Amino acid sequence: MARHLRPETPDFLTGAPVRLRFSAVLAASPEAVFRELAEIPEGWPRWFRPIASVEYVGDPPYGRGSCRRVRLVGGGRFVESVLVAEEGRRFVYRVDETSVPGLLALMEEWRLSPSPYGGTRLQWTTALAARRPARQLWSAARPLLARAFRRAARRLDERIAEQAAG
């Protein structure tokens, strides 16, 4: 059953009741990382293992205003709207519909910046509002999400390096 979530704006990323933020440094350039995040949805399951599929709805070009469908390995489903797509810098999407109970609003931001050591500093923020049991569950899941992010960042970097090597 689809649950419609609140249509929050990007300001929600700083004002949400629950904000989870993780970061990593990748060897790949911000432009290469952005391409994987925003332009190659079918690649997500290869580097972010909890995701079974990601697909855009409609024809390219994709960017601000585009709609995506996401399916998780455990069966959860999301319909997302892309709110911000700043090449090489920032990718933000809001969940509009989900099969996950307890959520009231959910948004994610992928922020990219050049690392002083070369490559990219990648920061992933998940911002959400949820009913009490779901809110407590998301907060308690922080260590699991941190580990999932670290693994995803490593796999993403490896994927980009393999593609560059041909």
Q: What is the token pair recorded at 133?
A: 């049991």
3-state secondary structure of 76: coil
Asked if 124 and 110 touch (Cβ cutoff 8 Å), the reply is: yes
Round to whole Å and give the CA distance between 111 and 45: 20
According to the model, what pLDDT value does residue 139 have? 84
The full set of domains in the chain, from first to last, is: 3-165 (3.30.530.20)
According to the model, what pLDDT value does residue 134 have? 85
Q: What is the mean pLDDT of each run of 10 residues along the chain (166 residues)?
A: 93 97 98 97 97 96 96 96 98 98 97 96 97 87 94 98 89
3-state secondary structure of 10: coil
Query: At a CB cut-off of 8 Å and minimum separation 6, what does 137 contact?
Result: 102
Round to whole Å and give the CA distance between 90 and 80: 16
According to the model, what pLDDT value does residue 1 have? 58
According to the model, what pLDDT value does residue 122 have? 98
Asked if 125 and 111 touch (Cβ cutoff 8 Å), the reply is: yes
